[in-house]
Amino acid sequence: MTDIQFLLRKNIRSLIPYSSARNEYKGSEAVFMDANESPYNDPYNRYPDPLQVQLKKRISVVKDVPSENIFLGNGSDEAIDLLIRAFCNPGTDNIIAIRPTYGMYKVCADINQVEYRESYLTREFQPDVDEMLGLADDASKLMFLCSPNNPTSNNLNRNSLLALVKNFKGLVIVDEAYADFSSAVSLSAELPLHPNLVILQTFSKAWGMAGIRLGMAFSSSQIIRVMNHIKYPYNVNILTQRTALEQLKNTEEKNKWVTLILQQRERLAAILSGMQLVQHIMPSDANFLMVKFNEPKKVFDYLISNKIIVRDRSKVPLCEGYLRITIGTSEENNMLVSALQEFEKKKNKGW
Ligand SMILES: *Cc1c(COP(=O)(O)O)cnc(C)c1O
């Protein structure tokens, strides 16, 4: 087990956090003359709750994670950045991660001038546990994993993840942005057993709220406290907090969307796998398909000329030749299929 305090950067360990007006007085029915807000233009005039108490209570019920183990941020990207800033001394400490994976971990490491050590996934797109642990030294503070992984779309083995959590001396961050689409159970039930485990989830994917910017981190209360100390005091604005509270009533609708997307994922995979121009489709536990084309660049450009935008991952190591296609509505998926059929036809005619 790891002593979280020992892992922290020294300046963060001794930090006296900013105490905002809304931190010091928490009631709601009062005459507020403490924060230099305007008395006009209700409700926009008031600063938001810095610790998002109401929203966390609701998320706590939906996710079955206690409020004190929840951090909320401006997307999960905020949590990624805060963890690096709290634990990694620029220029000396390092981070270990899988490759290929979500690009933000490396960008955040680079911005914070923290060395980023990568371990290739195996041929089955699984983490090489021994290699990852072998990359670690005394300056290794964080390890980033993503399950289901972006862009490979598969679940990482639970046992591999747990072996890393148990044997790595720093924090292990498991990004579960696509958990709602996955056949695997979240690692969140493991949180009480592993104070060095951090799970990231988001409202940007299954909940359909990428535009309001709201991400979650679940972890031990020690780690959550540190993140709350170093975040911007009012990192989640009132519009986002209100909208999320409202939308969280619609878990049934969210589940319906997930079901539709999963149906469409299977349908689209079946159609695409029967097409000449498709070489392979990776098994997906997410809301996207990794599709290998004979001529990825030509397909990508042809789709753009038809105003269908997919993500070109064909130059990513281990994903050579693949385009990443997000599952749309059945109509949108049909448009994609028609465009690909059109491309195939032109190809066969030698155009
Ligand atoms: C989309 C995505 C996110 C979401 O980030 P937000 O900042 O919450 O929108 C996080 N991690 C991965 C791997 C993603 O693909």
CB 233 within 8 A of CB 267: no
pLDDT at 318 over 70: yes
Q: Which ligand 1 atom minimizes the distance to the CA of 149?
A: 13
pLDDT at 26 over 80: no
CB 288 within 8 A of CB 102: no
CA 337, chain centre distance (Å) = 28
* SS3 letters across 226-252: HHHHHCCCCCCCHHHHHHHHHHHHHHH
Range of lowest pLDDT (31-40, 58-67, 294-303, 304-313): 31-40
Atom 11, ligand 1: residue with shortest CA distance: 177
Show the domains of the chain with their CATH numbers: 4-249 (3.40.640.10), 252-348 (3.90.1150.10)
Phi, psi dihedrals of residue 296, rounded to the nearest 5°: -55, -40
pLDDT of residue 18: 85
Range of lowest pLDDT (11-20, 35-44, 61-70): 11-20
Q: How confident is the model at residue 2 (pLDDT cuts 50, 70, 90)?
A: low
Residue type, 315: K
pLDDT of residue 1: 43
Average pLDDT over residues 330-339: 98
Upper half-sphere CA count for residue 203 (Cβ side, 13 Å): 27
| Distance from Cα 294 to the centre of ligand 1, integer Å | 29
Q: Which of 229, 240, 194, 199 shows the shortest CA–CA distance to 217?
A: 199
Alpha helices in 280-329 (DSSP H): 296-305
Between CA 216 and CA 88 the distance in angstroms is: 21
pLDDT of residue 351: 63
CB 262 within 8 A of CB 181: yes
Atom 10, ligand 1: residue with shortest CA distance: 177
Between CA 139 and CA 91 the distance in angstroms is: 10
| Distance from Cα 204 to the centre of ligand 1, integer Å | 7
pLDDT of residue 339: 98
Say if strands 94-99 and 140-146 run parallel, antiparallel, or are unpaired: parallel
Q: Which residues form the pocket of ligand 1, taking CB atoms under 6 Å from any ligand atom?
A: 75-77, 102, 146, 150, 175, 177, 202, 204-205, 210, 215
Range of lowest pLDDT (24-28, 63-67, 144-148, 306-310): 24-28
Atom 3, ligand 1: residue with shortest CA distance: 177
| Distance from Cα 348 to the centre of ligand 1, integer Å | 39
pLDDT at 246 over 70: yes
Between CA 113 and CA 130 the distance in angstroms is: 26
Beta-bridge partner residues of 96:
117, 143
Atom 2, ligand 1: residue with shortest CA distance: 177
pLDDT at 34 over 60: yes
| Distance from Cα 35 to the centre of ligand 1, integer Å | 33
Average pLDDT over residues 208-225: 98
